[in-house]
Amino acid sequence: MSASNSSMGRFRLVSWHMTALSLLAMLLAWLIIASPIGVPSYVIPGPFAVGEAWWDAASSGRLFIDILISVQRLLLGAAVGISTGILFGFIVGLSPTARVAVEPVINAMSGIAGIAWIPLALAWFGTGLGMSTFVIWNGMFFVVFANTALGVSRVQPSLAESVLTLGGGRWDIIRSVILPGAAPDILTGLRVGLSFAWRSLIAAELLGAPQGLGQWINQSATLQRSDRILAGCITIAVLGVILEYLLVSWIAARTVVRWGTITDASRGGAQ
Amino acid sequence: MAAQAIKSAYDGASPAISPRKVLLQAVDLCHGYEARGEKVVALDNVNLTIHEGDFVTVVGPSGCGKSTLARIFAGLTMPSSGQALYDGKLIQGASKERGMVFQELAILPWRTVAGNIAHGLEIAGTPKAERARRVAELVSLIGLEGFEDKYPRELSGGMRQRVAVARTWATKPPVILMDEPFAAVDAITRITLQEELIRLTHATNRTVVFITHSVEEAVFLGDYVVAMTARPGRVLEIVPIPPMGSERTWEDMIKDPRIEAISAHVFELVRGRKAPTARNEGH
Ligand SMILES: Nc1ncnc2c1ncn2[C@@H]1O[C@H](COP(=O)(O)OP(=O)(O)OP(=O)(O)O)[C@@H](O)[C@H]1O
Ligand SMILES: [Mg+2]
């Protein structure tokens, strides 16, 4: 999309409107489905019932404790998943020997569904932070790893060579060429990885961890409170969007989007 | 060796045999690539001696091994056989002594114009104030004032090439290898840059190996022209250019009948229409 400068501002406004419009359409559809002419409210509770359930949980303070616990678990798991994923991605992307040695094993492991590990993780780590960290790491590591390795191996070789002819060494190449060069793929890995991290966390909480949003949903399910289940799901979705913004979009806007090494859909394409 | 090769057959143009020290040398250089089982001979027995302060231009058809030769001198490619020497020592890897302007424009998309030019100085640990002064000097030299904070994608192709040249020039390497650095610059800017380049090299006593596919550019810039032929890549002839002084302009050159004759000769050489007049070394 080669939007000229003058039309770009307009396009941005329109794309923002489109987001609001689609949210509004969803809300409307929800209202209709949950209305007396739609399905019964114990199957799909209406927006007002869900809002009320959310407000009850929020005003009692319990919701925020659950949010705090879930976010804490997520951040710890994501920190471990991101750092190990990027580290191993760099090693495999930079060294053909490491690639041959490690990649088949990692690829084989990545095929095993995350949820399958949860019973084992409960046995190994109990119900504490160790368990959730392992499960999130398991859900996130592979996608961060694979994208980082791809990004590192895709950097134009002559960029690294140019640093050598300027008198730079290995570290200069990693810092000033490989890291920024692989940034678009690393950020893609983070974006996808974070959504995997949320899914893993909620699964871990549903299946065993005390407290947290997943556990709140689990208890609501036992009480057959579908309004609360939906309130929990929406809370998770909103938290996911906020965290994605802070960890990925915010960084991307200051790096790859600014450099023009990635096209940003929300700006109608950078090129 | 080179003394024999730099023997002119033209209008009494004095051979450029200099008492200066030998800086770069290629001795029986051969290089082959192997890609998907197929072997390509990129360089076949190339011998070349370049003295300190020389401005050498290398001209030849596409695929004759010009970039390969530059990469071997830079220390980025190891020759299949033969030797490449810098200052009498075997070249065994890249070094800041031999700067290179890459054909594929290796400027960093994530650094601004100023950031790219300052890169080598940062690596060398040049103090910030000195760095800023040097960057400003080079920016004005390449005519990019006002573009210091732009990223490469915001520049035209020709502007990017000028940044690539300045980035290599910034650290003042004794040898500068330039692989078709002005290919994407418009004809008018190119002339300005060429004249500037000649003045700069003479003023700073740099040794430059300048690769081009343009015969006119090779003849205008070079103290001597290395004419190459393709498949396999060989040095056909080393053609000395009569000294025109560092203040030469295109107008002077076009008017000079000797230059016209040399251009015609080099042109026929690289097109493979004419046998070399001087004895081709190594054969
Ligand atoms: N990395 C590579 N792998 C395989 N073959 C290569 C490689 N690099 C160059 N070659 C081959 O070697 C020969 C010389 O290539 P080189 O890039 O040195 O030519 P050149 O004179 O610089 O051409 P141009 O003017 O088009 O840039 C060509 O036939 C090319 O196909
Ligand atoms: Mg080339």
Confidence at A12, pLDDT banded by 50, 70, 90: low
- Assess contact for B155 and B163: CB atoms under 8 A: yes
* Inter-chain residue contact B100 with A162, CB threshold 8 Å: yes
Query: Rounded to an integer, what is the distance from CA A234 to the centroid of its chain?
Result: 15
- Assess contact for B98 and A162: CB atoms under 8 A: no
Q: Provide ipTM, 2 decimals.
A: 0.84
Question: Locate tokens 């895709």: which residue?
Answer: A154
Q: Does residue A263 register a pLDDT over 80? A: no
Confidence at B122, pLDDT banded by 50, 70, 90: very high
Q: Does residue A41 register a pLDDT over 80? A: no
Residue A47 and residue A19 share a domain: no
* Inter-chain residue contact B93 with A260, CB threshold 8 Å: no
Q: Name the residue with the closest Cα to ligand 1, atom 10.
A: B33
Confidence at A163, pLDDT banded by 50, 70, 90: very high
A24 to chain B, minimum CA–CA distance in Å? Answer: 38
Q: Name the residue with the closest Cα to ligand 1, atom 18.
A: B65
Q: Report the pLDDT value the prediction gives residue B15, as an integer from 0 to 100.
A: 47
The CATH number of the domain holding residue A218 is 1.10.3720.10
In-domain check, residue A4: yes
What value does the mean pLDDT take over residues B49-74?
A: 91
The residue of A165, A264, A271 whose CB has the most chain B CBs within 10 angstroms, and thus the best one to mutate to test that interface, is A165
In-domain check, residue A182: yes
DSSP assignment of B19-62 equals -SPEEEEEEEEEEEEEETTEEEEEEEEEEEEEETT-EEEEE--T
Confidence at A264, pLDDT banded by 50, 70, 90: low
Q: Report the pLDDT value the prediction gives residue A238, as an integer from 0 to 100.
A: 92
By Cβ distance, the residue of A167, A259, A261 closest to B123 is: A167
Q: Name the residue with the closest Cα to ligand 1, atom 12.
A: B42
What value does the mean pLDDT take over residues B15-29?
A: 77
Q: Report the pLDDT value the prediction gives residue A149, as an integer from 0 to 100.
A: 93
| Cβ neighbours, 10 Å, residue A152 | 22
- Assess contact for B66 and B102: CB atoms under 8 A: no
Residue B84 pairs with which residues in a beta bridge?
B26
DSSP assignment of B225-280 equals EEEEETTTTEEEEEEE-----TT--HHHHHH-HHHHHHHHHHHHHHTT-S--SSPP
Q: Which residues of B touch A162 (CB under 8 A)?
A: 100, 102, 106-107, 167
More confident residue, B204 or B2: B204
The residue of B76, B102, B110 whose CB has the most chain A CBs within 10 angstroms, and thus the best one to mutate to test that interface, is B110
Closest-approaching ligand to the CA atom of B232: 1
* Cα B67 to middle of ligand 1, angstroms: 7
By CB atoms closer than 10 A (0-12, 13-18, 19+), residue A134 is buried
B271 to chain A, minimum CA–CA distance in Å? Answer: 30
Highest mean pLDDT among A65-79, B9-23, B263-277: A65-79
Residues with CB under 6 A from ligand 1: B 33, 35, 40, 42, 60, 62-68, 103, 213
Q: Report the pLDDT value the prediction gives residue B75, as an integer from 0 to 100.
A: 93
* pLDDT, tens only, B172-221: 999 999 999 888 778 888 888 888 888 878 777 889 999 998 888 898 88
Q: Which residues of B touch A185 (CB under 8 A)?
A: none
Q: Does residue A99 register a pLDDT over 80? A: yes
Average pLDDT, chain A: 85
Q: Report the pLDDT value the prediction gives residue A271, as an integer from 0 to 100.
A: 34
Residue A10 and residue A124 share a domain: no
Average pLDDT, chain B: 84
Residue A131 and residue A13 share a domain: no
Residue A65 and residue A9 share a domain: no
Dihedral-angle region of residue A3 (phi above 0 means left; psi in -120 to 50 means alpha; beta otherwise): beta
Instruction: Name the residue in chain A with its Cα closest to that of B175.
Output: A165
Instruction: Name the residue in chain B with its Cα closest to that of A180.
Output: B110
Q: Report the pLDDT value the prediction gives residue B12, as an integer from 0 to 100.
A: 40
% of chain B surpassing 90 pLDDT: 37
What value does the mean pLDDT take over residues A33-52?
A: 82
Number of domains in chain A: 2
Q: Does residue B281 register a pLDDT over 70? A: no
Q: Report the pLDDT value the prediction gives residue B141, as an integer from 0 to 100.
A: 84
The one-letter amino acid code at A205 reads: E
Confidence at A212, pLDDT banded by 50, 70, 90: confident
What value does the mean pLDDT take over residues B108-122?
A: 95
Q: Which atom of ligand 1 is nearest to the CA of B70?
A: 18
H helix or E strand, kind and range, residue B185: none
Coil, strand or helix at B175 = strand
* Inter-chain residue contact A168 with B123, CB threshold 8 Å: yes
**Sheet containing B55-59: which strands, arranged edge to edge?**
B98-101, B175-179, B207-212, B55-59, B224-229, B234-240
* pLDDT, tens only, B240-266: 888 877 777 777 777 888 888 888 888
Residue A204 and residue A77 share a domain: yes
More confident residue, B155 or A264: B155
% of chain A surpassing 70 pLDDT: 91
Confidence at A267, pLDDT banded by 50, 70, 90: very low
Confidence at A73, pLDDT banded by 50, 70, 90: very high
Residue A109 and residue A74 share a domain: yes
**Gap between the Cα atoms of B209 and B219, Å rounded:** 13
Q: Report the pLDDT value the prediction gives residue A92, as an integer from 0 to 100.
A: 92
**Gap between the Cα atoms of B172 and A25, Å rounded:** 63
For residue A60, report the phi and psi dihedrals to the nearest 5 degrees. -75, -10
**Gap between the Cα atoms of A254 and A269, Å rounded:** 16
Q: Does residue A2 register a pLDDT over 50? A: no
**Gap between the Cα atoms of B261 and B268, Å rounded:** 11
Q: Which two tokens stand for residue B160?
A: 């990017």
Q: Report the pLDDT value the prediction gives residue B273, as an integer from 0 to 100.
A: 60
Residue A154 and residue A228 share a domain: yes
In-domain check, residue A267: no
- Assess contact for B97 and B174: CB atoms under 8 A: yes
Q: Which atom of ligand 1 is nearest to the CA of B43?
A: 14
Q: Report the pLDDT value the prediction gives residue A3, as an integer from 0 to 100.
A: 40
R_g of chain A, CA atoms, integer Å: 22
- Assess contact for B48 and B226: CB atoms under 8 A: yes
Highest mean pLDDT among A121-125, A144-148, B10-14: A144-148
Dihedral-angle region of residue B63 (phi above 0 means left; psi in -120 to 50 means alpha; beta otherwise): left
Q: Lowest mean pLDDT: which of A96-100, B201-205, B274-278?
A: B274-278
Containing structural domain, residue A22? 1-33
Residue A74 and residue A15 share a domain: no
* Cα B60 to middle of ligand 1, angstroms: 12
Residue A173 and residue A141 share a domain: yes
Q: Does residue A36 register a pLDDT over 60? A: yes
Cβ-proximal residues to A90 (8 Å cutoff; 6+ apart), any chain: A148, A149, A152, A174, A178
Dihedral-angle region of residue B214 (phi above 0 means left; psi in -120 to 50 means alpha; beta otherwise): beta
Q: Which two tokens stand for residue B4?
A: 């024999």
Confidence at B99, pLDDT banded by 50, 70, 90: very high
Residue A85 and residue A179 share a domain: yes
Half-sphere exposure of B12 (CA within 13 A, CB side): 0
Q: Where are the domains of chain B?
A: 1-90+174-283, 107-172
Coil, strand or helix at B211 = strand
Question: Locate tokens 């396999």: which residue?
Answer: B232
Q: Name the residue with the closest Cα to ligand 1, atom 5.
A: B33
Residue A19 and residue A85 share a domain: no
By Cβ distance, the residue of B110, B120, B171 closest to A180 is: B110
Q: Does residue A209 register a pLDDT over 80? A: no
Q: What is the pTM of this model?
A: 0.82
Fold exhibited by the domain B1-90+174-283:
Rossmann fold (3.40.50)
Q: Report the pLDDT value the prediction gives residue B274, as an integer from 0 to 100.
A: 60
Residue A29 and residue A47 share a domain: no
Cβ-proximal residues to B90 (8 Å cutoff; 6+ apart), any chain: B83, B84
Length of chain A: 271
More confident residue, A228 or B252: A228
Cis ω for the linkage preceding B232 (within 30 of 0): yes
